[in-house]
Every structure is written in structure tokens, then in C-alpha cells.
Structure 1
């Protein structure tokens, strides 16, 4: 998904945890290659320097600290940077997947998620769901804004123009620190 939103001229190497580097945009309808999927099962494309390998090599890259940043979804994040993104008690799940490895192996953890789920807060004072990892989240990006995890809590650094400070505060289950340099969220 991230590859679809990179601006022109930005050159980074994207890694897919299921075993390749050089990940590019989602495949266009009718152009799908059944052998090229991302870790979420979506059809994608790859760059000319793309490299395919097995799970052992993929997780060696992740666990070895060779990933500068990871972008993940979450069920909950709290003001301490704790992450819950793998299980809802009482629901059947296949397992944690690579999230635990990614959040401890990457140098920066960015959470991209909806701000609320069916009206319920997802950004909280304390997570209520089982943790994936503790104190690992650096940044949260939602449809409402961009927030950074600091030693003092969650700091709102960008606010989407469609929302007010009151809107985002009401949709957040903990106190937000408002950056003195708060700016409008850029749409790309």
C-alpha cells in the first residue's frame, strides 16, 4: 500500500516480509501476476532490481536491523507507544504474523490506521487488547492527523483540514499534546 503513495522522485527500497525487496505499486486489474503478491496477499509489481528470497532471509533482514522504517496497521496504540495489533480475545486468528519481528527489528515504527473503529477509540491511555510489543511506536497517521509518540505522551503535529482540534480530541482516548508547530496535514 505504501508504494502507491510515494511522491515522484522519492527513491527508497521497499521490502515485503513474505520475501522480496523492490516492492512497487499494486498491480493494475488485468495485469496481476499470481506469483507476485505482498505479505497481505495483494497483487503487486516490483522494480527492475527486485530480489525474491525465502522467509529465512526475509526475517534475517527484519530481525537484523536492516529495515529503516515499517508501516503497520493497529487495533490499538497507547500514549506510551505500546502496540496491540494481532488478536481480539475470543476471535479466531491465524497468528501474529511478522508484526512482532517488524516492530522490534525496524528502526522506526509508523502506524497507519483509522482513528476510531465503529465509534470506539483506538488511540488510548492504555491498550485494552493483548500487546504485540511495548514502547515501539514512533508515529501514528490517521485520516484525522499525524501524531508522534514522545516521552510526555502523544503529540499532534499535523491536523487534517476536514477536522478541528475538538474533533480529534473527542476521537482520541487519551490526552493529546498539541505541537506548538501544528500544521495542516498534507494530502498526497
Structure 2
């Protein structure tokens, strides 16, 4: 069924908390592309795209799109003062050299130990995993923004991924409409809970084993 605009922006707003001034940040398509809309107007964060942009801004208002400016997913963007452009080999060189501080990606499955599967939908033709493999392996922090269940309501936080992996043990944090999870050596740790749900609901809906932080934060909606 998919998340509504309000819920999608709620996840993007929570992810924005993980970003600090001075960082180089890469955003995946979908919910992650909303993150710049939830930073201060005077923030000093440079958003990176695999198609060769460093310095993306917020989503343009409808009717003000520039056909020459888009992110790696082909969606319209704005640019910030100081932005620069390069070819994709330079953009990927930044990733491979470990220059990206945070990447925020979508996912089809995340295992309890941080394995990521986010590039192939069963029964659908796809061009390949794209830059996600590089980002998952080389970014200093990997955050996943995703809906908690698939279209059939089945948990996307799993004991073991059944879809082809993008990378193993790469995810540090998962943000969903139910709560926020840190990936620890012992498995998933619920650190934040949205006020509309309960710990029992999270545990009942999750295939993977979930521990609850002793400092659990309740997030208002």
C-alpha cells in the first residue's frame, strides 16, 4: 500500500538528525530524497549524487524545476551555493575513497546483523544494483529508510535476507514508521519508538529478534 506523504516525511525528518554540518552525504531515491527538506536553511552539508553533483539542495517547488538538474534517480533537484559538477567516474571515486560520511538508502530487506538487500524485486526486470553496492561497502555510516513491511505486510527486518545481497553487515541504522533500530554485534536494538505504536507491536511484526534499549526514546508524531 505504501506510506503516505506525512509518514514519509516523518522518517526523513528523523534521518536528518543523524547529519551534521560539514558532512558529505549521499541519498538514495524515494524517501531518502526528502531528507534535505528537513535540515536548517543555513546548514553546511554537501549532498552527493552518483551522476556527478556535490551540493544538492531541497526539492524544487512545482513549476520551478530545471530540466538540467536531477539526482541519480532522475528526479528534479536544486543546488546550493558552492555546488560543483563532475562526471560519474569522479563521483564514484569519492565513494570508493571513503569520502562519503553518510549514505541514506532504501531497502527491500535488512537482516538482524545488517546485511542489505535493496536492488532486485522478484519478477521485475532491473538494470542492476547501481551505486548501492559501492555506497554500502565504503560509506562511513549506512542508514536505511524503509517501510516496515512489504506490500503483503511481511516484515522487511529479517533473520536472514532471502533476496540477493547488496552488501553484508553494512547497515548501521534502520528507520521505519514504527521505530528506529541500531544494528549491533548482538543484533537489532530498538532505540526510538514512534508514539503511535508499542514495543509489543514491533516485536510481533518483526521476523528478526529485537532487543529494546534501556534508554528508549519515544518520538511524537
Say which of 26, 34, 56 aligns to 2:89: 56
**How far apart are residue 57 of structure 1 and its match?**
0.4
Say which of 182, 187, 192 aligns to 1:148: 182
* Aligned pairs, number: 187
TM-score by length of structure 2 reads: 0.81
Unmatched 5+ stretches in structure 2: 1-32
Unmatched 5+ stretches in structure 1: none
Q: Deviations over 1:32-69 (max 9, x none)?
A: 00110011211010101010110010000011100001
Say which of 149, 157, 174 aligns to 1:116: 149
Name whichever structure is richer in strand by fraction: 1
Return the alpha-carbon distance in structure 1 between the equivalents of residues 212 and 43 of structure 2.
Answer: 29
**Paired position in structure 2 for 1:134:** 168
Aligned with 2:113: secondary structure? coil
**How far apart are residue 9 of structure 1 and its match?**
4.8
Residue 54 (structure 2) pairs with residue 21 (structure 1): yes
Which deviates more from structure 2 when the two are superposed, residues 1-10 or residues 40-49? 1-10
**Paired position in structure 2 for 1:81:** 114
TM-score by length of structure 1 reads: 0.95
**How far apart are residue 11 of structure 1 and its match?**
2.3
**Paired position in structure 1 for 2:25:** none
Aligned with 2:72: secondary structure? coil
- Assess, with a 3 A threshold, how the Cα gap between structure 1 residues 40 and 79 changes in structure 2: closer, same or farther: same
Aligned with 2:135: secondary structure? helix
Return the alpha-carbon distance in structure 2 between the equivalents of residues 7 and 173 of structure 1.
Answer: 37
Say which of 175, 195, 200 aligns to 1:166: 200
**Paired position in structure 2 for 1:181:** 215
Name whichever structure is richer in helix by fraction: 2
Say which of 72, 78, 101 aligns to 1:68: 101
Q: Deviations over 1:78-118 (max 9, x none)?
A: 01100000113432111111000111110000000001112
Deviation beyond 2 Å, 4+ runs, structure 1: 7-11, 88-91
**Paired position in structure 2 for 1:42:** 75
Return the alpha-carbon distance in structure 1 between the equivalents of residues 206 and 71 of structure 2.
Answer: 31
- Judge conservation of contact 1:23–1:50 (CA < 8 Å) in 2: yes
**How far apart are residue 186 of structure 1 and its match?**
5.6
